[in-house]
Amino acid sequence: MANPMVDDAREIKEENPFESMMARFDRAAQLLDLDPDLYAVMRVPNRELKVYIPVRMDSGRMEVFEGYRVQHNFARGPAKGGIRYSPDVTIDEVKALAAWMTWKCAVVNVPFGGAKGGVVCNPHEMSLSELERMTRRFAAELIDFIGPEKDVPAPDMNTNEQTMAWIMDTYSMHARHTVNAVVTGKPVALGGSAGRREATGRGLLFVINEAIKKFKMTPPTTRVVVQGSGNVGGIGAMLLHEAGYKVVAISDISGGIYNPNGIDIPEAMEHLKRTRSFEEFAGVERVSNQDLLELECDVLAPCATENQIGSHNADRIKCKVLAEGANGPTTAAADEILHNKGIFVIPDILANAGGVTVSYFEWVQDRMGYFWKEEVVNERLQDVMVASFNDVSKYAETHGVDTRTAAYMLAIDRVGYDTRMRGIYA
């Protein structure tokens, strides 16, 4: 009889995003025969910050929130990464996301290291003024650790252009002059980049375009299932629909809708915007988020949250291409199962790297004070995503490994080379 304590420990480990990231890092490092000194330096973050954020609530009482910022690596340039607001934020999650950002930036070859931040709160239960006060105090606590040459935050889960504007203004007030390059994902009027809001979804489209060529498929004959309808899933589904793909399912937090003949995505998204739910949208079947993942399709794009595909359901995934729009939607324990099923995985550190790529473009534009037209941004994004897809595919073929392992190997190889060339100041 199985030991329930052992089983529980295994399950907890599998669902820990930092453990999943480290398992993949360790495998790639071993295959690269990474120098032990480089391994020791690269497997840990450069800095972990934990701050307490006192906020005067609208009721007049004081509440103290817990915030984190993890700066994982500076070998290739300033740290870069989003800030999320969620009651589920943990230091392990933030550490994993910071490391993923390091590898993501290296895969698409932009000169950033990885960082991530988060505040433990429920933003849906807070007023706009409470969110502003919390954001400004969080930014003030980080003032010595962020900046255009140090660490450049961006939006993430439950944060947006307004959040970035507050951080930029707070930082600028302390600096006594406007510093718009301190964050990316800002409103265009404050130095944001054209195309930034759609960048992650557009990058996802570009790599899916390349992947289906391997199966000799074309957009009109390709059935796509999208889990999630936010900044990645919703925009990605719209762009896929516009490109001629047959999007047969999409979901929000409460569940999904399915039509094997394809869904009118613009109409579905308008319905979601108007009613805040896909409920009562006509001509579709209702499915749960978990059942949606197991629908038969050509491309499955999990664009919601971590740990959606694990050892418990990987054998029931029925797609040809898995395009990971979310960060960490697949656990390390599921990788071998998917590989043995012959599923072509576009790993998250490549598939959703469109956002950080255009964030890099925004940072560049802010620093030179000259802004590009949206078509220029999109064209340069396509160049980067296609080149990076080809780099990962070639690396996988050369080393005889799956695409996720290849992406990690390529990223670690690049960061390791730069670390070795700079030397370790010790």
Reading the block at residue 345, the tokens are: 């995985």
**Residue 245 confidence class, pLDDT cut points 50, 70, 90:** very high
Residue 167 contacts residue 154 (beta carbons within 8 Å)? no
CATH number at residue 118: 3.40.50.10860
- Indicate the residue among 351, 384, 408 that finishes a domain: 351
**Predicted TM-score of the model (pTM):** 0.91
Is 218 within the bounds of a domain? yes
Residue 113 contacts residue 105 (beta carbons within 8 Å)? yes
Both 346 and 205 in one domain: the answer is: yes
E strand or H helix at 217, and its extent? none
When pLDDT is averaged across residues 132-144 and rounded to a whole number, the result is 98
When pLDDT is averaged across residues 181-207 and rounded to a whole number, the result is 96
**Residue 13 confidence class, pLDDT cut points 50, 70, 90:** low
Both 181 and 57 in one domain: the answer is: yes
Backbone angles phi, psi at 88, to 5 degrees: -95, 5
Dist CA 23 CA 304 (whole Å): 22
Both 78 and 216 in one domain: the answer is: no
**Residue 22 confidence class, pLDDT cut points 50, 70, 90:** confident
- Indicate the residue among 158, 188, 218 that finishes a domain: 188
Say which residues have a Cβ less than 8 Å from residue 122's Cβ, sequence separation at least 6.
86, 87
Angle between helix 91-107 and 403-422 (nearest 10):
80
> What does the pLDDT read at residue 16?
80
Is 75 within the bounds of a domain? yes
Residue 141 domain boundaries: 47-188
- Does residue 10 register a pLDDT over 60? no
When pLDDT is averaged across residues 282-288 and rounded to a whole number, the result is 93
- Does residue 11 register a pLDDT over 70? no
**Mean pLDDT, all residues of the chain:** 93
Is 149 within the bounds of a domain? yes
Both 340 and 207 in one domain: the answer is: yes
Is 107 within the bounds of a domain? yes
Dist CA 325 CA 206 (whole Å): 12
- Does residue 268 register a pLDDT over 90? yes
Reading the block at residue 49, the tokens are: 């910050």
Is 329 within the bounds of a domain? yes
> What does the pLDDT read at residue 136?
98
Both 208 and 263 in one domain: the answer is: yes
- Does residue 71 register a pLDDT over 50? yes
Instruction: Return the percentage of the chain with pLDDT > 70, whole number.
Output: 97
CATH number at residue 253: 3.40.50.720
Reading the block at residue 306, the tokens are: 């971590």
Q: In the chain, what are the helix, strand and coil shares in percent, each to the nearest 5?
A: 50, 15, 35
Both 141 and 241 in one domain: the answer is: no
Residue-wise pLDDT tens digits, 382-426: 999 999 999 999 999 999 999 999 999 999 999 999 999 999 887
Both 153 and 207 in one domain: the answer is: no
Residue 317 contacts residue 298 (beta carbons within 8 Å)? no
Is 399 within the bounds of a domain? no
Both 163 and 91 in one domain: the answer is: yes
Both 203 and 184 in one domain: the answer is: no
Both 209 and 334 in one domain: the answer is: yes
Residue 182 carries which side chain, given as an amino acid letter?
V
Q: Structurally, how many domains does the chain consist of?
A: 2
Instruction: Return the percentage of the chain with pLDDT > 90, whole number.
Output: 87
Is 13 within the bounds of a domain? no
Both 227 and 320 in one domain: the answer is: yes
> What does the pLDDT read at residue 20?
80
- Indicate the residue among 318, 333, 351 that finishes a domain: 351
Backbone angles phi, psi at 34, to 5 degrees: -60, 135
Angle between helix 354-368 and 374-399 (nearest 10):
130
Both 183 and 205 in one domain: the answer is: no
Residue 71 contacts residue 46 (beta carbons within 8 Å)? yes
Is 23 within the bounds of a domain? no
Residue 147 contacts residue 168 (beta carbons within 8 Å)? no
Catalytic residues: 116
The residue written with tokens 């907890």 in the block is 12
**Residue 6 confidence class, pLDDT cut points 50, 70, 90:** very low
